Amino acid sequence: MAEKRHLNVIGSSATTEPVVLRSNIQWVVIGTLLVVLTWLPLAMLGLWLSRLGTWGIEVALRGSATTAQWAGPSAQFLALALILGSFALAAYLGGWFIARFGATKSTLIAWLTGGLAGALVVTIAAAAGSLSPWIVGVVAYMTLIFVGAIAASWGGRRGQRQPNTASLMPPTLP
């Protein structure tokens, strides 16, 4: 029978039962799901902002904007930048969460979390048939894994708990 896990009670110093920690693979799965579920609304916001930004670019360049003009290279670059930026933000937050609340080797676990989240997103997109030429799929796969791993490792470094240095400081004189 598996051991039960209990949440720690804040302010309670007495623990009657041993604390069972989660394994690192569980933190990778939790972080990956957190990154993907955080990225979905951010991606929708990025697409909406790219549509608004593209409309502003087309009006500034041509004086008017119609739906046929929205497929220009400036629109595609803006949408790509906002989607990639939103994925990097989601991976950063996922890495921060893992380091703050979870794994002991937080930078490595966060790095794995970001990379796995990127692979999961591209695999879902490929299963839906949206990566039609194979080179697009390979570039998207490598880019999202790289961006996810780097952003999550930065978040993992940032989220690590710092030791309390207030007690190490010498007392100040009034």
pLDDT digits (tens, 9 = 90+) for 126-165: 888 877 788 888 888 899 999 999 999 998 888 876 655 5
Q: Is-contact 88 149, C-beta < 8 A?
A: no
pTM over 0.75: no
Query: Does pLDDT of 18 surpass 60?
Result: no
Identify which of 118, 100, 115, 49 has the alpha carbon closest to the alpha carbon of residue 78.
Answer: 49
How far is the C-alpha of 106 from the C-alpha of 146, rounded, in Å?
Answer: 18
Query: Does pLDDT of 34 surpass 90?
Result: yes
Distances (CA, A) of 130 to 61, 136, 149: 30, 10, 23
Query: Does pLDDT of 2 surpass 70?
Result: no
pLDDT in tens, 71-83: 566 777 888 888 9
Domain limits, the chain: 24-159
